[in-house]
Amino acid sequence: MSYLLKNGLLPPGSDSPSRVASAIKKDMERDIPPNRNLGSFICTQHSAAATELICSNFFKNQACVEEYGTVSEYLDQCISILSRLWNSGENELPVGAATTGSSEGIMLAGLAMKRAWEEKKNAVGRRPNVIVGSNAHTCIFKFTTYFDVEARVVPVNACSGFAMAPLGVRQRLDQETVGVFLTLGSTFTGHYDPVQEIGQCLDDYERQTGHFIPIHVDAASGGFVAPFDPACDNVIWDFRVRQVRSINASGHKFGFSPCAVGWLVWRDQSCIPPRLLMESVYLRGTQTAFTLSFSRSYAPVIVQYFNFHSLGNKGYQERMATLLSGAGRLSSELNGSGYFRCISPGHEPSPQIEKQERMICLCHEINCPSYRTSQPPSATGLPVVVFTLSDTFAAQHPQVTISDLSDRVYHKGFSIPYYALPYWGPDGRGIDVLRVVVRQDIVPQLSIIYDLLTHEIRQLCKE
């Protein structure tokens, strides 16, 4: 047990730094090691060169643009690289920002859409709304709550292919709709929303009403996966879709940078209402920026720039191929075990899923129509494995639950998070699932993970 007193009080005297550090390290031995935190999207493996760059640049503050001009140029280069990866037009001049993860990027993108709507419309007495899927990340609902915007939620479920359906969007649009949030790589299941199809839906609405509605794509994970996945060559999700005004991604996920850095790119300067740009003059030089945070380390930005140049297009393609292949392999093994059924897109659909897609589903949530996407679910998606108990196994062993399995695995030193997907199943039933995010340091452990899951579920059957 640590000698450090955990009484919430500042100690009256000083102590040896090495002794305190040793005690803290001893305390943290109880925690799950990062490479066994299997449900996290955060990159947990860096090369020696990247680690040296992190350590040597940690104290450089992004707010000090003049003092660290070289790094500021790196930031601009990263935004330029991402805008081209996301197919900005030849004659367009994209602008962007480095953010503290995708959450800040989503807040900024949402604010830009809201302010643009307010400037075009007589907003007095009118409450703006955004269209968002039930598969959206929590930070989008933070945006709607913190900035007083109505969230009109399109239910996502097995019948919609675990992605937002265009018909569900169309039924919720009106003159107060300031934008549509779409997800390229759901945190819950790894699926991509059909951005191009929903853009066509917004085209139809604009022709009928004259009201242009922009799209923001939350590509926190998919923004670094889709450009390097050959299966996505015909998936149009980025600035090629006319309504897409902004895209965010997390560099510290599949961009392979350290935590925390996000990226937000707008199609051009006109997408940012000028009154959102704030000028500061109390550091060297004058800065004009649109951010929610101020002081943070430049180190993640530098490593992002390092990754772009050290990996290049070829290196990113190779890494994504490894991760996606690993996810597909683990999915197939879990599906074939008889214990589990995968619902993430990185595998061939099981007969049960195919049956569900042929069903005429009735969702039990209020205001949720019966619908399905115009195209069948594709195999494109994130390198994640999301799975539940197979119907046959669950019927034969009703005492076994996914949450119990998650607990048993945790006590063996691996964290595989358990969560519920309410109303996501056929006929409005919920689905309880586990998620494994296949990262670089997870790939060598895939066989161990499979063996651990199957062993522990057999043990649960005996109890």
Say what the alpha-carbon torsion angle 57, 62, 64, 69 is, to the nearest 10 degrees.
Answer: 70
| Cα 435 off chain centre by | 14
Helix (H, G, I), strand (E, B) or coil at 262: strand
Q: Which residue has the tokens 């195209």?
A: 375
What element of type H or E holds 107? Answer: helix 101-120
Give Cα separations from 40 to 56, 108, 138, 431 (angstroms): 26, 24, 15, 20
Whole-number pLDDT of residue 283 = 61
CB 149 within 8 A of CB 184: no
Nearest to 134 by CA among 90, 165, 177: 165
Helix (H, G, I), strand (E, B) or coil at 459: helix
CB 163 within 8 A of CB 191: yes
Helix (H, G, I), strand (E, B) or coil at 378: coil
Evaluated on CA atoms 421, 184, 32, 440, the torsion sign reads: positive
The reply to whether domains 55-305 and 323-462 share a CATH topology is: no
What does 169-197 look like in DSSP terms, one character per residue? HHTT--TTEEEEEEEBS-TTT-PBP-HHH
Would you say the pTM of this structure is higher than 0.85? yes
CATH assignment of 55-305? 3.40.640.10
Q: Which residue has the tokens 């494994």?
A: 436
Residue ranges covered by each domain of the chain? 55-305, 323-462
| DSSP class of 348 | P
Structure tokens of 151? 């969230």
Burial 106-119 (b: 16+ CB within 10 A, else e): bbbbbbbbbbbbbe
Q: What averages of pLDDT result for each successive group of 10 residues across the chain (463 residues)?
A: 77 92 92 96 96 93 83 94 96 93 94 92 84 96 96 95 95 96 97 97 97 97 97 96 98 95 95 80 64 85 97 97 95 96 73 36 35 45 97 96 97 96 89 97 96 97 88
* Terminal alpha carbon distance of the chain: 33
CB 109 within 8 A of CB 246: yes
Angle value at C-alpha 351, between 349 and 357, nearest 5 degrees: 70
Strands 340-342 and 418-421, how do they pair? Answer: unpaired
Helix (H, G, I), strand (E, B) or coil at 398: coil
* HSE-up (13 A, CA, CB side) for residue 408: 18
What element of type H or E holds 421? Answer: strand 418-421
Angle value at C-alpha 51, between 50 and 57, nearest 5 degrees: 90
| DSSP bridge pairs for 389 | 340
CA distance 230 to 131: 30
Strands 262-266 and 95-99, how do they pair? Answer: antiparallel
Q: Which residues contact 50 (CB under 8 A, 6 or more apart)?
A: 258, 303, 306, 307
Whole-number pLDDT of residue 276 = 83
CB 386 within 8 A of CB 434: yes
Please state the length of the chain: 463
CATH assignment of 323-462? 3.90.1150.160
Whole-number pLDDT of residue 287 = 65
Structure tokens of 5? 């007193």
Residue type for position 11: P
| DSSP class of 155 | P
